């Protein structure tokens, strides 16, 4: 059995005890729960009220975003003059949900709307010349690009020469120059004073429909049906679930669980799950939407997400389910081949992982990069052949900015884009080895030693006796969980197993325990996935400490609390 990775435990700093105690009193909750709130910069009763009771009224005015007024004027002109409009987006979840959302909204009052998703293999990421030519051939005079375009200087100029205007809705970091479009909506623009800059591409698109709706005497309540797509994009794009994103995700999850669009309903119908949380959206809904663009074409995802007939949506969902199964088989196979390549090249001790095979499927190399980090915890790039170039997906480890690392390797790169933890790039094949050497050098010189071991950030040390149904119920109201509002991790020491702890699973990979603390004989169920090799720690009633989430386990309709172990360690005598 493969040994589970060593972990570095890091207890978050203590919060101000006076602020925490006052908040606990004001809210009538225990100190640990108040501490979780203060860690999230929620220090007063009013802030807590706004956090626990998200309101669509707290969304920002969309016209605070630079160029929003210009975007609305140009779209209204296109409608008044009966122009053809193309809604263009990338082939991932954020892009396809954005296109589905904006196109379906515009179609409620204007028919001349086309959608376009670039082919991952023929056109690559972002705005393409092929897409602009398609627009020109079909008499389209306005392209609204979502989740891409912030660096498309040449493409926007090319479109302008053909008499086509661009509106760009993006959330990636701009370069030194902004494209010469009619409007560039991107809260990460240095000259944009919008109060929240962590929106995903679909979030920026939602602000655009919010602005358009305000001119049509619609209210935010009229736009709630679109929030299932926004929540899906927020979950899939791993943006912080704070501020506006938290409000949008909170209400979007309600739509997903009560009255989602047919495409999402059809996918849920396949998996037969009663209620989805944000983690389910990340691991169940998002991969299926992504699979269409990875295995076939992103258009399939848009067709599914805009389908008005449920029976047709079910047929699309079945096809996408097959795509997803094919994707799983592919990423498993390629991950095995990549791990073998690392071993054969004796690169286990490198500071970075860079692997390449020309036949690897371009659609799954990002997933493979994430898988490799699970085994070799280091910044990772997976390359494959793409036309006459090599294309790669980059993934990073917590705390390390892979985008900045790539910026130091630009002499060998044709183009790249992305953000701190995920990026994509292309380069000429003859530059591969030089790039690989340079990237390894950059990572070696800039990756702090402590970031080479995965960290468990622990929110609070608690006693097992604090874990009650009420504690769990209030803690769960911190959801939806995600970056900068992660599901709390607790630590408890002086634990022992009651003797019934065992390895479980067909290959005994997992660890199932019945824990008690100190002299209190009350036991708590705990499960540690992938922790079967730590069984010896808990034998003979040895004392140990555990880091864990608190979870709910449902069996035959009966719910009980259980500890979801992240790690266990021998307690020093």
CATH number of the domain at 408, please: 3.10.310.30
What is the secondary structure of 166-215 as a DSSP string?
A: EEEE--SPP-SS----SEEE-TTSTT---S-----HHHHHHHHHHHHHHT
State whether 251 and 359 are in the same domain: no
In a domain, 237, yes or no: yes
- Tell me which of 452, 483, 500 is where a domain ends: 452
Report the CATH number at residue 26.
2.40.50.460
State whether 401 and 507 are in the same domain: no
In a domain, 331, yes or no: no
Number of structural domains (the chain) is 3
State whether 388 and 296 are in the same domain: no
| CB proximity list for 13: less than 8 A, separation 6 or greater | none
Mean pLDDT of 293-312: 85
State whether 106 and 168 are in the same domain: yes
Tens digit of pLDDT for each residue in 394-448? 999 989 999 999 999 999 998 888 778 888 899 999 999 999 999 999 999 999 9
pLDDT at 302: 92
Residue 521 has pLDDT above 80, yes or no: no
Please provide residue 114's backbone torsions phi and psi, each rounded to the nearest 5 degrees: -110, 155
In a domain, 337, yes or no: no
Tens digit of pLDDT for each residue in 201-260? 999 999 999 999 999 999 999 999 999 999 999 999 888 999 999 999 999 999 999 999
Q: What percent of the chain is modeled with pLDDT above 90?
A: 69
pLDDT at 273: 72
Residue 28 has pLDDT above 70, yes or no: yes
Report the CATH number at residue 101.
3.90.1640.30
State whether 255 and 106 are in the same domain: yes
| Backbone dihedral region for residue 399 (phi beyond 0: left; psi -120 to 50: alpha; all else: beta) | left
- Tell me which of 404, 423, 452 is where a domain ends: 452
Question: Is the torsion defined by CA of 100, 256, 108, 216 positive or negative?
Answer: negative
State whether 444 and 484 are in the same domain: no
**If you ran DSSP here, which 8-state letter would residue 241 be given?**
-
In a domain, 22, yes or no: yes
State whether 96 and 228 are in the same domain: yes
Tell the residue number behind the tokens 């053809």, with chain if given.
84
Residue 539 has pLDDT above 60, yes or no: yes
Please provide residue 572's backbone torsions phi and psi, each rounded to the nearest 5 degrees: -60, 135
| Token digits of residue 411 | 């002499």
The length of the chain in residues reads 573
How confident is residue 295, by pLDDT bands cut at 50, 70 and 90? low
| CB proximity list for 444: less than 8 A, separation 6 or greater | 351, 352
| Whole-number average pLDDT of the chain | 91
Omega into 480 within 30° of 0, i.e. cis?
Answer: yes
In a domain, 332, yes or no: no
State whether 369 and 500 are in the same domain: no
Helix and strand element counts for the chain (H, E) = 19, 19
SS3 2: coil
- Tell me which of 433, 452, 471 is where a domain ends: 452
Bridge partners for 2 per DSSP: none
In a domain, 333, yes or no: no
How confident is residue 4, by pLDDT bands cut at 50, 70 and 90? low
pLDDT at 1: 40
State whether 43 and 96 are in the same domain: no
**Cα gap 402→391, rounded to integer Å:** 16
SS3 420: coil
State whether 125 and 218 are in the same domain: yes
In a domain, 335, yes or no: no
Model confidence pTM above 0.85: yes
**Cα gap 257→265, rounded to integer Å:** 9
Residues 249-253: contacts with CB under 8 Å, at least 24 apart: 249/278, 249/480, 249/482, 250/54, 250/480, 251/54, 251/56, 251/224, 251/227, 252/227, 252/228, 253/277, 253/278, 253/281, 253/480
Tens digit of pLDDT for each residue in 134-188? 999 999 999 999 999 999 999 999 999 999 999 999 998 898 899 999 999 999 9
In a domain, 318, yes or no: yes
State whether 27 and 123 are in the same domain: no
Residue 283 has pLDDT above 90, yes or no: no
State whether 113 and 179 are in the same domain: yes
pLDDT at 438: 96
Domain encompassing residue 408: 345-452
């Amino acid at each position: 059995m493969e040994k589970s990775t060593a972990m570095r435990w890091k207890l978050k700093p203590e919060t101000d005890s006076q602020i925490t105690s006052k908040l606990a009193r004001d809210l009538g909750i225990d100190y640990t729960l108040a501490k979780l709130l203060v860690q999230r910069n929620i220090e007063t009763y009013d802030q807590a009220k706004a956090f626990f009771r998200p309101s669509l009224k707290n969304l920002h005015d969309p016209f605070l975003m630079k160029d929003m007024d210009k975007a609305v004027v140009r779209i209204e002109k296109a409608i008044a003059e009966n122009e053809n409009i193309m809604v263009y987006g990338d082939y991932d979840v954020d892009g396809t949900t954005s296109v589905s959302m904006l196109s379906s909204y515009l179609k409620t009052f204007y028919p001349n709307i086309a959608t376009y998703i670039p082919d991952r293999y023929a056109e690559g990421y972002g705005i393409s010349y092929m897409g602009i030519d398609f627009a020109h051939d079909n008499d389209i005079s306005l392209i609204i690009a979502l989740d891409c375009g912030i660096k498309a200087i040449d493409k926007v100029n090319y479109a302008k020469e053909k008499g086509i205007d661009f509106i760009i809705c993006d959330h990636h970091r701009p370069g030194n120059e902004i494209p010469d479009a009619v409007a560039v909506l991107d809260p990460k623009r240095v000259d944009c004073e919008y109060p929240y800059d962590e929106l995903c591409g679909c979030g920026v698109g939602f602000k655009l429909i919010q602005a358009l709706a305000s001119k049509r005497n619609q209210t935010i309540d009229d736009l709630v049906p679109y929030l299932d797509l926004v929540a899906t994009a927020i979950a899939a794009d791993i943006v912080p679930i704070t501020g506006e994103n938290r409000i949008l995700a909170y209400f979007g999850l309600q739509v997903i669980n009560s009255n989602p669009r047919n495409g999402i309903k059809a996918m849920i119908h396949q998996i037969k799950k009663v209620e989805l949380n944000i983690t389910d959206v990340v691991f169940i809904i998002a991969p299926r939407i992504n699979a269409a663009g990875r295995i076939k074409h992103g258009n399939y995802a848009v067709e599914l997400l805009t389908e008005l007939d449920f029976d047709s949506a079910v047929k699309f969902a079945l096809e996408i389910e097959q795509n997803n199964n094919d994707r799983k088989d592919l990423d498993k196979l390629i991950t095995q081949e990549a791990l073998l390549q690392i071993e054969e090249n004796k690169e286990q001790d490198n500071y970075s992982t860079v692997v390449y095979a020309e036949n690897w499927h371009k659609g799954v190399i990002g997933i493979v990069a994430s898988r490799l980090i699970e085994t070799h915890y280091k910044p990772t790039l997976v390359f494959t052949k793409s036309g006459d170039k090599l294309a790669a997906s980059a993934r990073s480890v917590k705390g390390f900015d892979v985008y900045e690392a790539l910026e130091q390797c630009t002499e060998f790169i044709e183009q790249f884009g992305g953000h701190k933890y995920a990026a994509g790039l292309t380069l000429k094949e003859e530059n591969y080895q030089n790039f690989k050497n340079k990237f390894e050098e950059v990572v070696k010189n800039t990756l702090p030693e402590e970031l080479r071991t995965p960290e468990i950030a622990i929110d609070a040390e608690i006693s097992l006796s604090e874990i009650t149904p009420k504690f769990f119920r209030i803690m769960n109201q911190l959801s939806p969980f995600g970056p900068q509002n992660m599901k709390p991790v607790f630590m408890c020491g002086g634990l022992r197993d009651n003797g019934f702890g065992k390895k479980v699973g067909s290959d005994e990979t997992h660890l199932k325990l019945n824990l008690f603390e100190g002299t209190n004989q009350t036991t708590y169920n705990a499960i540690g996935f992938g922790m079967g090799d730590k069984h010896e720690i808990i034998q003979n009633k040895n004392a140990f400490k555990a880091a864990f989430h608190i979870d709910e386990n449902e069996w035959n309709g009966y719910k009980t609390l259980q500890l979801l172990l992240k790690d266990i360690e021998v307690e020093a005598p």
